[in-house]
Structure 1
Amino acid sequence: MSSFNFSQWPPALSDAQLESLTHHAATYALSHGLTYLPPIPTQPPVPSSAIHAPISLLPAPVPRSLFERAQSLQSVYNTLYARIATNDEFLDREMGAEVGAGKADEFVRTLWQGWKEIREEGIAQPLHLGLFRSDYLLHTGGEDGGLGLKQVEFNTISSSFGPLSERAAAMHRYLHALTDYYGVSPDLRPENFPPNNTTSGLANGLAEAHKAYNAKGNASILFVVQPNERNVFDQRWLEYELLEKHSIRVVRQTFDELASSATLNPESRVLQITLPTPPGSSSSPSPIEISTIYFRAGYVPTDFPTPAHYTTRFLLERSRAIKCPTIPLQLAGGKKVQEALSQPGAVEKFFGGPEAEHAKELRETWMRMWALDAPNTPLSLPAEADHKSGEPLGTALARANAMSLVLKPQREGGGNNIYKSDIPQFLETLSPQDRQAWIAMELIVPPAGVGGYLVRAGGMNGGAGALPEKTVRSETISELGIFGWALFGKEKVVEEQGNVGWLMRTKGVESNEGGVAAGFSVLDSVVLVDG
């Protein structure tokens, strides 16, 4: 059992102390780029204002041993997903359009079919780059009654908030240095604030891919971004790091812009970007060769409103540039893959012989999962399935155990899952084919009674003026993300990799979802405690 009493967190602060901390936190965030663009329908070409990101005033407690375990596991996860992304047979089976999740999910199917065509043409670039994030919750539901670490998901595309998480951790260290947090807790000591150098770590991964591309002349890294992106500063910090520390320039483009700016040499497969001619210029800019493509868009169907957007995505995939991620690495992050790995003997196929201990370590972080279309399952669950006619056992088990489950589709970005009491009715809407795109996962049970002080920025009230800062004490759940990167290919499964930092997001217990950009969570950091 953990010796730390989570139900006594956060320590009490007076109204005056909260007001002072909120003022200092907000001004620090704005001064140090812990920011978002304001929530307006269309962002202007040149930003003229910013608001601080949603933040917590006190860091979230995490037992030191579990934090260190999450960090140590990241290199194992990096290797696992590198091996999955280079295993065509496994991905075809689990995510393909013929027998896998792509059979029921149009988005997955379109990506997989495009990748299959490119494979048949011949892959121009054998290397993949992954900037990963493995997300965990503390779990109290173990058989021994102790506190454990359970994985929520593994992110292989647009693993965001690395630079902003580093600045959130720095903000908490600043608040402690300034106020000593008014002496309200003996756990709030400098040695309990772990370092977080995510920005340099992620930039190092991109820089290594750029170097491996081995351009003969100048080349740049392409960031593929969403239009009207509010979380732009999280991306800009990586851009600045690449230029200042590695002398690598970044080009930012949306899929719409790339439709006209991107060209592919049919023989060399070199990708070039031609930027618009600046106003008043008499000559057009020279095309820019792209060494590495970092996708901060392309993970949701709404990023592809027309077939032309998929055509652009596949053009990028056909290039000699190193992709972060490639389509197979993006598919490897699917929830169906997460579920498939949890089945008996599955992950062991990726870690055999002397690496068998790695498979055991990973399994200890997983909750029970199964496919809704599973005809049978070896799971032992609290409620037995009451079959409807023709219904697979996986769906019947999900209905019977709904209050302890979450249903997940093949989606990223938050707001896509189905929880608890909403599950039975939702199951009635699924056709037999639709079930193939969903998995059921037992809910992780975080420590009860833990809370936090959450701050959301004031914004514009429909043109009526600025809303005030709002600090709320709320019962909370905190999700820990560990960042890593890997540069790899089929011939040499992992060229290089790194464990580069962490992210803490905190939300109110009333919210099922966890996305900061989607408005569910705030950016937090970690205070290490005994346990």
Structure 2
Amino acid sequence: MNGFTSWPPEVTPDQLEQLTLLATTYALSHSLLYLPPHGDIPPPPAPASAIHAPLSLFPTPVPRELFVRARRIQRAYNVLYARVAIDNKFLDEIMGAGGVADVDEFTGELWRAWKGLREEGPVQPLHLGLFRSDYLLHQPTSEAEISLKQVEFNTISSSFGALSQQVSGLHSYLQASTGYFGASPLLTPNNLPLNETVKGLVAGLAEAHNAYGVPDAQILFVVQANERNIFDQRLLEYELLLSHGIHIIRRTLPELEHSMKLSPARALLLPSGASSASPLSEIAVVYYRAGYTPTDYPTPAIYATRANLERSRAIQCPSLALQLAGGKKIQQVLTMSGVLERYLSREEGADEVRESWVAMWGLDDEDLPIPGAKPTNVIHVDDVKEPKGTREARIRADTLVLKPQREGGGNNIYRAAILPFLDTLPAPERRAWIAMQLIRPPAAVEGYLVRSGDAQTGPVKGRVVSELGIFGWTLFGRETNGQESVREAEVGFLVRTKGEGVDEGGVAAGFSVLDSVLLVD
């Protein structure tokens, strides 16, 4: 594995300059783009400029067998989360009253909306999930075998599918145009896997559109205002139209509060144009690229708008149930003995799914067999009246991350920050937090990271950590006879690379760059 740990290969300053020029111009030519930051000044209604997305000059080495495994077990994860999302009793127990909903206001609002809709009687039995399962390579010591461990499973607004395809194309282009100057025998076309995530994700949206059964119905993209990552969304929009003839409407949640209508049969109707006087269009699928963070719901009326969207006959991507199923607490409870096996058999991949997990527990847990490394902190907590889960988090703080029920990056508590955080965390709120063993990526891997605006200094070389994401979609529900219906597929991948020592990993949040896979044996 020497070729892996000594990455990237050596190139001359002139070669590095040429690679940077080719990469940035390719990015600008192929929609590998962001809108520029606008600060406190509202952006113009029609974008006048764009910058290339942050990117890596060299693809990231990933052991071939682990990449194949990650893609294979995505099919099992697709089925697993579909089944969890239709288990109302399980979701109520973990995320509902008496659980997370009582101490996490955001989760509580979503759960209460879902509970109210169930009591009314839903009119749409189908759910659509566009998923992304994120992993890190794990090598706790330099002698240990490298394994694949899951960071999290995303059930809402699983972004960067389109841009991940573009950056895979960028690295293939650099290889075809320069051969990377012969810098490494690993940099061959056979080691750069094809990435068709746009086609795959759109296939899931189109499958749901077809299941809705109204050919001229449209798909609603629920988006955030002033979205900088708009090109990642637009590439999906273009594929829907050009390959499937499906039109989309983009609206924010506040815009929907005033423009959406429900027909007597609960069809979701929206003005097809910017004016409220525009003809109304029926919506087949509601695809959320917003709604995953409390800031997306500034008023109670916005929560009511989200509920009204789900009250309609339109297929939700995700439904409130599926969004709740993606909570960190669900991820942790699934690791407990026997819970995963309620939803997934060994023949369906349960063993490989369980093997992809690290140790996790709730801060309020008492029954707590914790595998893994011995604790590193010498802390005497025998007299502290705390649940065992919290005491273990104190003892093992140097090896942990604490996670709340949030998406989008910037929410987790790491290592040295854990002890002071636990000192101030109100006791009832412990049930909304999980402790997770830190994954230890292979050491001494480096990369060249390029961000727009760094032209004066060129690409930045440094030690890096890369996170692999695998995309999938699932269309599922219960038939009228109570039988389970699941259609699903694995559809592509994403790599995000960040500097070593940077805990958070979001590209949109500014921590990471977009990358792709180089298969190594």
1:401 matched to 2:396: yes
Distance 1:35 1:48, change over 3 A: same
Structure 2 contact 249–272 (Cα < 8 Å) conserved = no
Structure 1 contact 135–479 (Cα < 8 Å) conserved = yes
1:450 matched to 2:450: no
Aligned partners of 2:238 and 2:383: how far apart in 1?
Answer: 57
CA deviation string 1:149-198 (max 9, x = no partner)? 00000000000000100000000000111111010101001100000000
1:323 matched to 2:316: yes
Q: Where does the alignment leave 5 or more consecutive residues of structure 2 unmatched?
A: none
Shift of 1:101: 1.4
**Which position in structure 2 is the counterpart of 1:127?**
126
**Which position in structure 1 is the counterpart of 2:432?**
437
1:116 matched to 2:107: no
CA deviation string 1:296-352 (max 9, x = no partner)? 000000000111110110000101000000000000100000000001111011124
Specify the code of the residue in structure 2 equivalent to 1:187. Answer: L
**Which position in structure 1 is the counterpart of 2:82?**
82
Q: Secondary structure at the match of 2:422?
A: helix
CA deviation string 1:231-252 (max 9, x = no partner)? 0000000000000000000000
Aligned partners of 1:236 and 1:88: how far apart in 2?
Answer: 34
Distance 1:73 1:56, change over 3 A: same
**Which position in structure 2 is the counterpart of 1:341?**
334
Shift of 1:85: 0.3
Aligned partners of 2:170 and 2:3: how far apart in 1?
Answer: 25
Shift of 1:221: 0.2
Shift of 1:6: 2.8
Aligned partners of 2:67 and 2:449: how far apart in 1?
Answer: 22
**Which position in structure 2 is the counterpart of 1:413?**
408
Structure 1 contact 4–529 (Cα < 8 Å) conserved = no
Aligned partners of 1:262 and 1:340: how far apart in 2?
Answer: 37
List aligned pairs for 1:25-424, cutoff 5 A: 25-41=23-39, 42-96=42-96, 98-141=97-140, 145-215=144-214, 218-265=216-263, 267-275=264-272, 284-352=277-345, 355=346, 358-380=349-371, 382-383=374-375, 386-424=381-419
Q: TM-score, normalised by structure 2?
A: 0.96
Q: Secondary structure at the match of 2:468?
A: strand
Shift of 1:44: 1.4
1:520 matched to 2:508: no
Aligned partners of 1:376 and 1:71: how far apart in 2?
Answer: 34
Structure 1 contact 405–442 (Cα < 8 Å) conserved = yes
> How many residues are treated as equivalent by the alignment?
512
Aligned partners of 2:143 and 2:436: how far apart in 1?
Answer: 21
Structure 1 contact 94–100 (Cα < 8 Å) conserved = yes
Structure 2 contact 4–520 (Cα < 8 Å) conserved = no
**Which position in structure 2 is the counterpart of 1:479?**
467
Distance 1:38 1:513, change over 3 A: same
Specify the code of the residue in structure 1 equivalent to 2:193. Answer: P
Shift of 1:285: 1.7
Q: Secondary structure at the match of 2:148?
A: strand
Q: Secondary structure at the match of 1:412?
A: coil
Which of 485, 488, 501 in structure 1 is aligned with 2:492? 501
Q: Where does the alignment leave 5 or more consecutive residues of structure 1 unmatched?
A: 460-466
1:488 matched to 2:476: yes
CA deviation string 1:463-503 (max 9, x = no partner)? xxxx7474100100000000000100023534311110000
Aligned partners of 2:272 and 2:208: how far apart in 1?
Answer: 23
CA deviation string 1:126-164 (max 9, x = no partner)? 000000000001011389921100000000000000010
Aligned partners of 1:263 and 1:326: how far apart in 2?
Answer: 19
CA deviation string 1:414-462 (max 9, x = no partner)? 1110111111111111111111110000000100000100000028xxx
Structure 2 contact 79–486 (Cα < 8 Å) conserved = no
Specify the code of the residue in structure 1 equivalent to 2:248. Answer: V
Aligned partners of 1:438 and 1:328: how far apart in 2?
Answer: 19
Aligned partners of 1:92 and 1:469: how far apart in 2?
Answer: 53
Shift of 1:275: 4.7
Distance 1:276 1:205, change over 3 A: closer
Specify the code of the residue in structure 2 equivalent to 1:45. Answer: P
Structure 1 contact 82–493 (Cα < 8 Å) conserved = no
Q: Secondary structure at the match of 1:117?
A: helix
Specify the code of the residue in structure 2 equivalent to 1:328. Answer: A
Specify the code of the residue in structure 1 equivalent to 2:159. Answer: S
**Which position in structure 1 is the counterpart of 2:10?**
12
Structure 1 residues 6-15 or 506-515, which shifts more? 6-15
Distance 1:46 1:357, change over 3 A: closer
Structure 1 residues 248-257 or 378-387, which shifts more? 378-387
Percent identity, please: 56
RMSD: 1.7
Aligned partners of 2:343 and 2:166: how far apart in 1?
Answer: 36
Aligned partners of 1:373 and 1:319: how far apart in 2?
Answer: 37
**Which position in structure 2 is the counterpart of 1:464?**
none
Find runs of 4+ consecutive structure 1 residues off by over 6 angstroms.
none
Distance 1:277 1:160, change over 3 A: closer
Specify the code of the residue in structure 2 equivalent to 1:79. Answer: V
CA deviation string 1:62-86 (max 9, x = no partner)? 0000000000001000000000000
Structure 1 contact 85–328 (Cα < 8 Å) conserved = yes
Specify the code of the residue in structure 2 equivalent to 1:471. Answer: P
Structure 1 contact 348–356 (Cα < 8 Å) conserved = no
Specify the code of the residue in structure 2 equivalent to 1:269. Answer: R
Q: Secondary structure at the match of 1:330?
A: helix
Q: Secondary structure at the match of 1:251?
A: strand
Aligned partners of 2:448 and 2:60: how far apart in 1?
Answer: 10
Specify the code of the residue in structure 1 equivalent to 2:242. Answer: E
Q: TM-score, normalised by structure 1?
A: 0.94
